[in-house]
Amino acid sequence: MLTVHHLNNSRSQRVLWLLEELGVPYEIVRYQRQPDMRAPKELRAIHPLGKSPVITDNGNTIAESGAIIEYLIATYGNGRLVPPPNTPERLRFTYWLHYAEGSAMQPLLLKLLFTLMPKRAPALLRPLVRKVSNQALTALVNPQLKQHMDYWEGELGKTEWFAGNEFTAADIQMSFPLEAAQARGGLELGHPKAMAFLERIHARPAYSRALEKGGPYQVGR
């Protein structure tokens, strides 16, 4: 049976959601983050990088959210949650599937890093680290993040979903950046269409079922 190696509070929540949307049977092997928020070493026995998400299926071990989504759609989708080939919507689908991790997550990760650095710095260095972090956030990270959030807002003003007017797996992939932006990027300020997107996905029954099976999820909630 298809197995999802599921790390709590991680991108693997999207994989559970996709499987629930497709109605594909699967089992979950659970891993808990360590106190430093890193994945436990047991995940390295599944994939050398020890990251999540990872799935195993029919002798295949597949990592990376985009690759997993492409595999699941091709293997179990039967044409669902993906636009028809050779259409503008299919091109947009491919773009958003890769943009989510290739571009969108970079400023969000930097935001998290520079926010945490002063809290974790030694007491004597904390004022200096806070100053450097604040300068990086103000001059570099926050402007980049705003540019991305404005971009999402504009695109969701053209169509209801990221690839077009139909919900697709690209929206599942894009959920994580938008949830992270809501949690720590100020998405709620001036981005009503992006916030409405989050309301729509959170209302989907398959999203709720994935939360029930995956356990507490704090990234965007």
Output the six-digit token pair for 216: 């507490």
* pTM (two decimals): 0.93
| CATH fold group of domain 3-82+208-214 | Glutaredoxin (3.40.30)
Strands (E), the chain: 3-7, 27-31, 54-57, 60-63
Phi/psi at 158 (nearest 5 deg)? Answer: -90, -40
Q: Is the pLDDT of residue 220 over 60?
A: no
Question: Once rounded to an integer, what is the mean pLDDT over residues 150-179?
Answer: 98
Question: Once rounded to an integer, what is the mean pLDDT over residues 76-101?
Answer: 98
- The residues, any chain, with a CB within 8 Å of residue 173's CB and separated by 6 or more, are 14, 65, 66, 69, 96, 97, 100, 101
Higher pLDDT, residue 18 or 123: 18
pLDDT (0 to 100) of residue 197: 98
Q: Where in the chain is the domain with CATH 3.40.30.10?
A: 3-82+208-214
Round to whole Å and give the CA distance between 160 and 154: 11
Round to whole Å and give the CA distance between 201 and 158: 18
Long-range CB pairs of 86-92, under 8 A, 24+ apart, other chains included? 88/164, 89/163, 89/164, 89/166, 89/168, 90/163, 92/162, 92/163, 92/164, 92/170
Higher pLDDT, residue 188 or 9: 188
Q: Are strands 60-63 and 54-57 parallel, antiparallel or unpaired?
A: antiparallel
Q: Where in the chain is the domain with CATH 1.20.1050.10?
A: 88-204
Q: Is the pLDDT of residue 93 over 70?
A: yes
Q: What is the pLDDT of residues 142-162, one digit of tens each?
A: 999 999 999 999 999 999 999
Output the six-digit token pair for 42: 């047991």
Round to whole Å and give the CA distance between 198 and 194: 7
pLDDT (0 to 100) of residue 219: 67
Round to whole Å and give the CA distance between 104 and 112: 13
| CATH fold group of domain 88-204 | Glutathione S-transferase Yfyf (Class Pi); Chain A, domain 2 (1.20.1050)
